[in-house]
Amino acid sequence: MEKSLLPPIPAKRYFTIGEVSELCGVKPHVLRYWEQEFTQLRPMKRRGNRRYYQRHEVLMIRRIRDLLYDQGFTITGARNKLQDLVQFERERRRLGGELIDVDLLDDDGLDDDMNTETAATYELTHLALNSSDEALQTLRTELTQIRDMLSELH
């Protein structure tokens, strides 16, 4: 299933494994396997080990699916990429930035309502994941300046 054909995620609190399977275009046994491989994926389990996923987990599964099926990452590569994204998000929060909410992005990585500055920030964010510490510090400074300029506009 092509990522553009994935259905929108309904406004619900919990999703069963069958619902998530349909929303993400992945069979239930694959979802159970991914739970073992990706520590970030931890659905709530209730009676009889029934899994209940929340919206952020559905988004995470779509991200995993994209990395594995569309971008060609191995399980290990996708796991490392997700850890990099989580680490970057923690660093962004530590710096107090509100540059971009990754969970609100479409599967192609861009929100339909993103303006040019935010899209540029998103691109810089992804470059930062593969940059040296010095380049990352420079990027942080630039992103902070962009954030300040955007906050002045509102």
Its pTM stands at: 0.59
Number of neighbours of residue 10 by Cβ within 10 angstroms:
10
pLDDT mean for each 10 residues of the chain (154 residues):
74 94 96 94 91 94 94 94 84 67 46 44 48 66 82 76
What is the CATH number that goes with domain 1-83? 1.10.1660.10
pLDDT of residue 70: 93
pLDDT of residue 118: 44
Backbone angles phi, psi at 115, to 5 degrees: -90, 175
β-pairing, 50-53 vs 44-46, is antiparallel
pLDDT of residue 27: 97
Domain ranges in the chain?
Answer: 1-83, 95-154
